[in-house]
Structure 1
Amino acid sequence: MHIYKEPIPYQNPSLCMKVWRFTQSGAEKEYGNTWHYHKEIEFILVEQGIHEIQTPNQVYSLKAGDVMLIGSSQLHRGRKISDKDLVYIVLHIDLQPYFDPAMMRYYRDFLEIFHPLEALNYIFQENDQVKKEIAKIITDTHDEVMGTKKGYEIAVSMHIKHLLLMLLRHDNRDLLTTHGNVDGDADIIRSLVVYVDEHLTEKIDMGEVSRIAGMSYSYFSKYFKNKMGASFIDYVNQKRISKAERLLVTEKRSVNEIAESVGIGNMAHFYELFKRFNGCTPKQYLHKMNVSDS
């Protein structure tokens, strides 16, 4: 079994994205137990054939015209169904650079604090018109990048922001919901997100983080919850468990070692958090992913 963090080489580093059309011919493919993940979110548009995508939560059978969204660092794997040719476009995007001052108030909505972006796939399943429009945006983005006409960078940036706008406006279940304004605090919020990501293996002291933010301990606690919609501790724990999920299937280490590697030394607390976020134990999670824990 080969499970890995997939590097995404950007066609234009300034755009922080990659888009490519793939064609697979021949017999139906098996998964081969190849799970992978990447920090970029991923849109998949099937143009011909049947593409089956599996995540820890669901199996999707995508036919011609179907679209799917995979969140940042979300484990997934795919395979070709039937002997017919499979043609599809994959669009990878690092979202962070696209949150300029005009979009910053929605930055928190796409950080996957409460819901993985995968949960938004209901939009494409319930709204055929939106699915068609998203498919066109993905195709147009591909054509712009491949054509490299003058100003294509501007066109691609506009297309990506249009994708985000479509998700925001057609999320009828309010999975993307803004409770507070963060546009005036862009630098602070970004620095805190980066700090947490870079220190997950360590003890993260809220006193130190509040000093980084230039606030008192008590004010920072209220500030973070107001801006992010979750307490700082809950946010850090969610990030720790998300990383633990990936490590469980990517590395042959014990659960104790993985808990320590994501900064949780108390095993009872680790199991409690893991079950809270996943609804199952680490062993049950591995079984769901068809990964041996031996």
Structure 2
Amino acid sequence: MNIEMFDEVIPYQNLMLCIQIRKREKRRQQKKRWHYHRELEFAYVLEGVLGKQIQDKQYRLEPGEALIVGSSQPHCSWCADGDATTYLILHFDLQPYFDPSLMTYYHFFYEITGPLSQLNETLRQNEELRISLGQHMKSIYDEMEQKTVGYELAIQLQVKQLLLLLLRCGPNEAPKTNKVPPAYNLRPVIDYVERHLQENIEMETVSQMVNMSYHYFSKYFKKMVGMSFVDYVNIQRIKKAERLLLTEKINITQVAEMVGFVNMTHFYDLFKRYNHCSPKEYIRRLLPDASEFT
């Protein structure tokens, strides 16, 4: 069997900010709905108990507790106890908030070295961090509801504060440096890779998209992202393969082809490197009742 999972389209309340924040209520009888989206997600419980599963990890959140879901991570939530759970849920795309001051931290915020959900254990242990995160989410919610003059600026500042909180509590903070890198925007490259994973992605093509020479782009990308362009593309292919394994009724060979691998040995080696298990073991971990894949 496969998880019934969908690629959720987040309806932004403000297109310029690429953001949505809602106060939601879940009732005990509601069905778990597996989904993913490119936006980061923050949840903060106000009343009741919220159950949340991100890939193969489950969480039980009580009032005042918070949780982060990384971009495109499969997840679901449910009312874990009592009659109903009320919580704030925040979604936003990073693009409007990414200015030159954040360029040094590309690898962190674009989850190159791991999803931001890896910070959830830190959140669980750090009450001061949870309080700060909750205060920022409440402020964003109030600004979006009231829409007083300058609310867009106020929300943008609050989101930046959230990003700063994550960066300072994260395990992969970039080395401190006094050298400010040139402010080239790599987002067109990241978007292009996401759309063309099934195809042969040439560095010559993407370097031209950002008006760099092949060799300069290679060095610049590695400096900003923390890994080579080839390694980055491979990670994105494996991430997409993870979702396909859970949601599509196709075999592992077809999954590999859909993310651009023609050599199955290479696909298995990379999958094991990033997940510490084979594709079949990954399926069993998230879908204990899944039928055998070939």
Q: Is 10-19 or 206-215 further displaced after alignment? A: 206-215
Cα separation, partners in 2 of 1:213 and 1:140, compared to 1, 3 Å: closer
Equivalent residue number for residue 184 of structure 2: 186
Equivalent residue number for residue 196 of structure 2: 199
Equivalent residue number for residue 21 of structure 2: 19
Amino acid corresponding to residue 21 of structure 2 in structure 1: V
Amino acid corresponding to residue 88 of structure 1 in structure 2: Y
Give yes or no for contact 1:48–1:87 (8 Å, CA) kept in 2.
yes
- Structure 1 portions without partners, runs of 5+: none
> Aligned-pair distance for 1:215?
4.1
Give the SS at the match of 2:117: helix
> Aligned-pair distance for 1:87?
0.6
Give yes or no for contact 2:51–2:58 (8 Å, CA) kept in 1.
yes
CA distance in 2, matches of 1:243, 1:220: 25
> Aligned-pair distance for 1:55?
1.4
Cα separation, partners in 2 of 1:74 and 1:158, compared to 1, 3 Å: same
Amino acid corresponding to residue 184 of structure 1 in structure 2: P
Equivalent residue number for residue 227 of structure 2: 230
CA distance in 2, matches of 1:216, 1:13: 34
Q: Is 133-142 or 50-59 further displaced after alignment? A: 50-59
Equivalent residue number for residue 105 of structure 2: 106
**Aligned partner of 2:271 among 274, 278, 290:** 274
**Aligned partner of 2:246 among 239, 249, 255:** 249
Equivalent residue number for residue 50 of structure 1: 49
CA distance in 2, matches of 1:219, 1:11: 39
CA distance in 2, matches of 1:248, 1:293: 12
Cα separation, partners in 2 of 1:148 and 1:106, compared to 1, 3 Å: same
> Aligned-pair distance for 1:30?
5.6
CA distance in 2, matches of 1:19, 1:84: 23
- 1:254-273 per-position Cα deviation (integer Å, ceiling 9, x unaligned): 21111111111111111111
Equivalent residue number for residue 9 of structure 2: 7
Give yes or no for contact 1:28–1:83 (8 Å, CA) kept in 2.
no
Cα separation, partners in 2 of 1:194 and 1:215, compared to 1, 3 Å: same
Q: Percent identity?
A: 41
> Aligned-pair distance for 1:154?
1.2
Equivalent residue number for residue 261 of structure 1: 258
CA distance in 2, matches of 1:104, 1:216: 20
Amino acid corresponding to residue 10 of structure 2 in structure 1: I
CA distance in 2, matches of 1:203, 1:182: 33
Give yes or no for contact 2:104–2:224 (8 Å, CA) kept in 1.
no
> Aligned-pair distance for 1:190?
2.2
CA distance in 2, matches of 1:271, 1:165: 36
Give yes or no for contact 2:106–2:225 (8 Å, CA) kept in 1.
no
CA distance in 2, matches of 1:176, 1:75: 25
> Aligned-pair distance for 1:51?
0.8
The 5 Å alignment of 1:117-128 reads: 117-128=116-127
Give yes or no for contact 2:23–2:89 (8 Å, CA) kept in 1.
yes
- Structure 2 portions without partners, runs of 5+: none
The 5 Å alignment of 1:87-102 reads: 87-102=86-101
Give yes or no for contact 1:28–1:82 (8 Å, CA) kept in 2.
no
Q: Is 120-129 or 136-145 further displaced after alignment? A: 120-129
Cα separation, partners in 2 of 1:102 and 1:289, compared to 1, 3 Å: same
Cα separation, partners in 2 of 1:278 and 1:29, compared to 1, 3 Å: same
How much is the aligned-residue C-alpha RMSD, in angstroms? 2.0
- How many residue pairs get aligned? The number is 288
